[in-house]
Amino acid sequence: MTLLHMAILIPFFSVPLIPLLYKYVHQIHTGWFVMVIPALLLILFASYYSMQQPLDPVIYSVPWIPSLDIHFTIYLDSLSLLFVLLITGIGVLVVLYSIYYMSMDREKLHLFYAYLMLFMGAMLGSVLSDNLLVLYAFWELTSVSSFLLIAFWYHRKRSRYGAQKSMFITMSGGFSMLLGFIILYVASGTFSIRELIALSDQVSQHSLFIPAMFFILLGAFTKSAQFPFHIWLPDAMEAPTPISAYLHSATMVKAGVYLVARLTPIFGGHQEWFWTITITGLITLFIGSLKAVRQSDLKALLAFSTISQIGLIMTLLGIGSIALNSQYSGSSLLFAGATVAAIFHLINHSIFKGCLFMMIGILDHETGTRDIRRLGGLIHIMPVSFTLTLIGAFSMAGLPPFSGFLSKEMFFSGVLMTSRNLDSWFIVIPIIAWIASIFTFVYCMILIFKVFTGPYQPKRLDRKPHEAPIGMLISPMILAALVVILFFFPNWIASTLLEPSVKAILPQAFANGEEWHVHISVWHGLNTELLMTIGIVILGTLLYKNFHKFRNMYEIIPSRFSLNQAYDSGLVGMERISGMITRFYMTGSSPRYLSYLFVFLIVIVGGSLFLQDAFVLDLSDNAPIELYEYLLGFTMVAASIYMIFTKSRLISIIVVSVIGYIVSLFFVIFRAPDLALTQLVVETISTALFLLCFYFLPKVSKYVTPVKFRISNAIIAVGVGLTLTLIGLTAQGHHLFVPIAEYYKDSYTLAGAKNMVNAILVDFRAFDTMLEIVVLFAAGVGIYTLINLRHAGRKDQ
């Protein structure tokens, strides 16, 4: 186990320790202890970063399930290093911010930080794993841990709704992604991403290549809240603000971006990849920016802005993938510029969006509301908050002197390049991008001026506002400073992070060794991109100033026709249909439930036996049947028939025990004395227990079972008996493999046993027994939790 493996596992190891700290250390906020973990991880990963030269890929592998080609392989290159620096760096700032945001008295901090560390470890595993199945395991763990974080205030109905919605959508996409991974394995014979990239030409010829692509993209789009799966993100705002700042700036929504970037070398040269990602990203960019303008809740505004910004990044990744298309090999390095813009804007978005979420949390914390309609005139009361919000919002709007201006200009260069180097009708892409950017400018102005300027409304606020404590301002201050620093010194990361990350995403485009370097300039002269920015400022200002006149423009699609409404209606419809089906078969009758099970067995198992022509009757190896064996068999049959017609419970119990004792005689005849003794003991105890239980039951009523019911029972009984008999005879007649008895015969002595049956029961079934105990333990914990929740009696909000 290497240091990088431990770096992934450390957050998981901390999860059970955090509640202990919370329980025994009352004087110090738990966050101070937790902050050590992301800080140490940040130092570790930062040690791999050098400002002089890019990182040489680091690979460590630990066998996990070698027989299934599953290895816990860590692959750290510049692309994954970028993501882990964001995950741990923003993680440190979020934990520091939460120390002042989360109350020690009112909040369950042990759960908050345990869930947060669980999520951090899952994200680190997702971006560092080279094996697709290991990546999938961490990927789904991010969904589970984000569910716990979003539902942290689980007594609120909206929190539970948002958590369930996010988990349902993202895990559904995760299952689709798993299917795509399995198809890739079928096509290539490997789960390693590096090996898949090396075999990309061979894999692309497989008939299932395109289905695998779409299944994987479905997983990426659901995780990164792309249209039409974006509806989960606004409802996830019910989480505490530190969680929103972490999930929606540097981690959760970036996971899908990472997956698309990492798998572009495999799929990137295909038109299906380009069109699907570019069109989805453009639609998401436009819808997210349009809906953000309509919001009156500050966190909802930022949620839709996140949707829009991730759509922008996806669009750039789609355009950049053209560099891998042999048809455009002459201009491949031009398209690589779009990928540079995607990675640069990903960094910028993580920084300014983290800053903005923290500032919205401060506004909520200090004023008691996030409703824009109740806010205003706070510039003189909260000047520091105004300055930090201004920096973050102007960067998101793409204005200088902030880093968002640079990546936004590069975004315009990328979309303009599609119309210049592809067909002329591609001009639609920059037009849509430009219109969406106008709406982005408008909601950024709303965020700043509606909140901090205008009339001050103290009577509409829940508490008297004042500037936040310095501890709560440190994290957004650091992020705001980075926004400004990256504007003036963008090339600090150009050659060591951006350039090698792009080469990792588009390796085939640089296979010929052509000289290519990333250089970001603040000023490019009076070009089309700058004119587009000037147009955005002019039109955006007009729309903001006349917001009330154009309000209806933002309500083009009525809420009753929204995707949210479709989602809710679908849930209601599924509940109604499932209720009808459940009421149909859940009648409260145990005999009917047993009938369902037995009929299913007869139809599926028995039907398959004959449809597959699998029935074989081979009696050639059978030993001759002695007369006493016939007598014992007929006695069992007679006892079984007699038990059906008897009216006495006592006689029924005796007859059943007779059948059991005869079975023990068969064990004696077949020279299995241990089984015979076991059967005798079990049968005796069962008979005694039956007699004891039936003694306390009420007398049998004189109710006469309908003939129809008895006939159906008889048919089912005969069917089950016949099916199981045929299965037994067929199993005996098939000799496709070496009998498992040979394995037990040769290996039971290795277990230290002198009897094969004992070895099977004690040693070979050890794992089975252990898992049974685990299941019982899990069920017990679930029952205990439900009882505690019932006694807690917390009211929904």
For residues 116 and 31, give the distance between their C-alpha atoms in angstroms, rounded to a whole number: 11
Out of 300-314, 436-450, 490-504, 707-721, pick the least confident.
Answer: 707-721
For range 35-59, the mean pLDDT: 89
Task: State pLDDT tens for residues 115-167.
Answer: 999 999 999 999 999 999 999 999 999 999 999 999 998 888 888 899 999 99
Residues 593 and 727 in one domain: yes
pLDDT digits (tens, 9 = 90+) for 626-651: 888 888 889 988 988 888 788 777 88
Last residue of a domain, one of 498, 531, 553: 553
Same-domain pairing of 548 and 665: no
> Does position 561 have pLDDT exceeding 70, yes or no?
no
**What is the structure's pLDDT at 551?**
65
What is the domain count for the chain?
A: 3
Pick 157 or 516 by higher pLDDT.
Answer: 157
Residue 449 identity? F
**Cis amide bond preceding 228, omega within 30:** yes
Please state, as a whole number, how many other Cβ atoms lie within 10 Å of the Cβ of residue 489: 13
Q: Model confidence over 320-350: pLDDT tens digits?
A: 888 887 777 666 777 888 899 999 999 999 9
pLDDT of residue 239: 87
Residue 285 lies in a domain: yes
With respect to residue 239, please indicate whether it lies within any of the assigned structural domains.
no
Same domain, 613 and 664: yes
Same domain? 636 vs 670:
yes
Question: Does residue 60 lie within any of the structural domains?
Answer: no
Do 297 and 349 lie in one domain? The reply is yes
Q: What is the DSSP string of 80-141?
A: HHHHHHHHHHHHHHHHHHHHHHS-TTTS-HHHHHHHHHHHHHHHHHHHHB-BHHHHHHHHHH
For 201-227, the DSSP string reads HHHTTSTTHHHHHHHHHHHHHHHTT-T
Q: Examine the fold and report which residue of 586, 604, 631 is the final residue of a domain before the chain moves on.
A: 586
Please give the average per-residue pLDDT across 195-223, as a whole number.
92
> Where do runs of H (alpha helix) occur along 296-402?
298-320, 332-367, 383-397
Q: Which residue has the higher pLDDT, 419 or 773?
A: 773
CA pair distance 358, 93, nearest whole angstrom: 10
Among 45-59, 125-139, 381-395, 430-444, name the one with the lowest average pLDDT.
Answer: 45-59
Quickly state the pLDDT bin for 689 (edges 50, 70, 90).
confident
The answer to whether residue 69 sits within a structural domain is no
Q: Which of 187, 244, 247 is nearest to 216 (CA)?
A: 187
Q: Do 136 and 177 contact (CB within 8 A), yes or no? A: yes
Is 347:249 a contact under the CB 8 Å cutoff? no
Domain assignment present for 599 = yes
Residue among 652, 651, 660, 654 nearest 632 (CA): 660
Task: Mark whether 463 and 488 lie in a shared domain.
Answer: yes
Q: How far apart are CA 360 and CA 378, in angstroms?
A: 13
Cα 22 to Cα 644: distance, rounded to the nearest angstrom: 63
Here the tokens at position 781 are 């914990």
**pTM as predicted:** 0.81
Q: What amino acid is encoded at 596 in this protein?
A: Y
The 8-class DSSP code of residue 621 comes to T
pLDDT band at 550 (very low <50, low <70, confident <90, very high): low
pLDDT in tens, 723-754: 888 888 887 766 667 777 777 777 777 777 77
Same domain, 708 and 675: yes
The answer to whether residues 303 and 375 belong to one domain is yes
Burial of 149 (0-12, 13-18, 19+ CB in 10 A): buried
The answer to the question of residue 198 being in a domain is no
Last residue of a domain, one of 717, 732, 749: 749
Q: Are residues 288 and 429 in the same domain?
A: yes
- What token pair was written down for 106? 């009112």
Could you tell me if residue 254 is inside a domain? no
Position 263 in a domain: no
Two structure tokens written together for 147: 């569910």
Q: Which residues pair with 192 in a beta bridge?
A: 131
Q: Which domain holds residue 572?
A: 556-586
Task: Look up tokens 């241990």; give the residue.
Answer: 674
Examine the domain organization and report whether 451 and 571 are in the same domain: no
Give the side-chain half-sphere CA count within 13 A for 115: 22
Please check whether residues 409 and 460 belong to one and the same domain. Answer: yes
**The pair of three-digit structure tokens given for residue 3, joined into one six-digit string:** 């240091």
307 and 447 co-located in one domain:
yes
Bridge partner list, 58 = 76
